[in-house]
Structure 1
């Protein structure tokens, strides 16, 4: 990768009218950033830490998605549902989408970006017992394209990945289910795409979470946090089978990042980062290392951007979160 020393200008995003999902309100994408939050990268390298803007009452973060073409990354806030945006070259970030009810969004979890720069947001428990949306799709300029309810009960949409077909696949942490979101002839829609009830045993707490596409692009590999199991979901047959991990301890598996034939597993409250080899078809994984992460942080999800991996410091271990709020590139304990 060529070393980048010049700052790129972030596009200014203005509030735009609602294009879809008539039951929601208009988006209010960007707050004004101070000079401090727009500091450029230091000469000789990219920032190792990115500062997130939190709320006065405390903020907790979870999901992250990155767009390698633009250098932009997006981070979700569970406390309010705000979406923050940053750039690989800058230490600071901006609040890109407001929360606290904007577009029916009061909390947010997983985030990803597709090849067209569209941003997909998983709502966690946002729709449980409320009738609110379970997920959202936004254009690169912050226009709301869709706010959708998943066709099932007890839906906690946790993480999301773009498949080889261009559709977005969302995991349900409350049931062994994967939902598929795509734009068809009649607009944006969501379907219950794979239901592994009877195959994946449901455990108390968080179940299906982080997911990646396999190297051969024929399956998804999904983490089950409370058991530490990995599951393979065939993209053609939708069959769900266990990944042979050789007994690796992956309890608290949260975010997954695949880099070629290697799989990074962020183990949030276990405060560990597991690295495994992953076969191209996703049927077999073998542990290479377990590294203790910074004991002062609970890292959740991660995303690759320009040759590095960005990890979200959630603040989930704090009853009332306090700044600094950060995304880090050096996760291991020192």
Structure 2
């Protein structure tokens, strides 16, 4: 492992701990919202996605596996058991209905003090059949150390993946089972996390540690100019990022769910509502669902041994 990668992992752990401040207060503020309970065996949801029929899928950073909540359910159910198909700790998830796959980031979370369901080392992208839940594709991230954090499907049908411990974005071409480095640049060293394609065809990413947003031009699948965007306000621990109509939606570990509008080289960040340590989001029709991962509980020494309750919360889309 490179020293730089280890230091970044430790820095991420430290700043996530800071985000736990005020979680209890935020939870009370959101208590009246519609919610879906996460089973006790699948705590700390890190990723969230939905299919067009309204089914939600969430991961578990500590225990692994995938839970599923069908339309109208008040509690999610375990759909993919922890450890299935060589998975360990599960991070980002993405429903790719065109390919019939649920993409899942699987990682060794040992540096976070988390054991996970087995001792498999390394970081992987796993593809599960959306109908049966059977594992179909397994691709290991080629660089060490790595953390497969989040995923997006590009206009070319390829899968694009953020690597939190390296300043790189990986690509899994349609029909391939091997990841390649699509772009690597020191500008992206602040802990790559959320990822989404805009209507302009460019790829947008945020960095969890440094609180930045970048646009990466893409021409026929070839990475182009990387531009750091000015943000209308500071962003703290930006995480899940999803394209939404003419802009994006984004959550920050510090609490906000926000609408992001790109105007030239500037990102206008308009807060919609605060949540308890949100990590990911998904849209179903006119409803936004938020995963309250509350990952700060894993890092804050004063919270050691405590496990809050976990849920997916919804609000009407603005």
Interval containing the TM-score (normalised by the shorter chain): 0.7 to 0.9
- Mean Cα displacement is larger for which, 169-178 or 257-266? 257-266
Among 121, 129, 137, the alignment partner of 1:139 is 129
Which residue of structure 1 aligns with residue 73 of structure 2?
90
The answer (yes or no) to whether the contact 1:152–1:192 under 8 Å persists in 2 is no
State TM-score, norm by structure 2.
Answer: 0.76
Quick one: structure 1 residues 321 and 78, their matched pair in 2 at CA, closer, same or farther if it must change by over 3 Å?
Answer: farther
What is the rounded CA distance, in whole Å, between the counterparts of 2:229 and 2:174 in structure 1? Answer: 34
Q: CA deviation at 1:149?
A: 1.0
1:251 lines up with 2:236 in the alignment: yes
The 5 A counterparts of 1:214-293 are 214-216=198-200, 218-236=201-219, 237-268=222-253, 270-279=254-263, 283-287=265-269, 289-291=270-272, 293=274
What is the rounded CA distance, in whole Å, between the counterparts of 1:212 and 1:133 in structure 2? Answer: 21
Quick one: structure 1 residues 136 and 322, their matched pair in 2 at CA, closer, same or farther if it must change by over 3 Å?
Answer: same
Q: Which has the larger radius of gyration?
A: 1
The 5 A counterparts of 1:95-114 are 95-99=78-82, 101-114=83-96
1:53 lines up with 2:39 in the alignment: yes
Which residue of structure 1 aligns with residue 58 of structure 2?
75
Which residue of structure 2 aligns with residue 43 of structure 1?
none
Q: Which has the higher contact order (CA 8 A, sep 6+)?
A: 2
Q: CA deviation at 1:148?
A: 1.7
What is the rounded CA distance, in whole Å, between the counterparts of 1:307 and 1:116 in structure 2? Answer: 25
List alignment gaps of at least 5 residues for structure 1: 1-46
Q: CA deviation at 1:124?
A: 3.8
Among 186, 192, 198, the alignment partner of 2:181 is 192
What is the rounded CA distance, in whole Å, between the counterparts of 1:313 and 1:87 in structure 2? Answer: 18
1:329 lines up with 2:314 in the alignment: yes
Quick one: structure 1 residues 139 and 126, their matched pair in 2 at CA, closer, same or farther if it must change by over 3 Å?
Answer: farther
The answer (yes or no) to whether the contact 1:313–1:327 under 8 Å persists in 2 is yes
| Larger strand percent | 2
Q: CA deviation at 1:192?
A: 1.3
Q: CA deviation at 1:74?
A: 0.8
List alignment gaps of at least 5 residues for structure 2: 1-32, 112-118, 298-303
| Larger helix percent | 2
Q: Please report the RMSD computed on the Cα atoms of aligned residues, expressed in angstroms.
A: 2.6
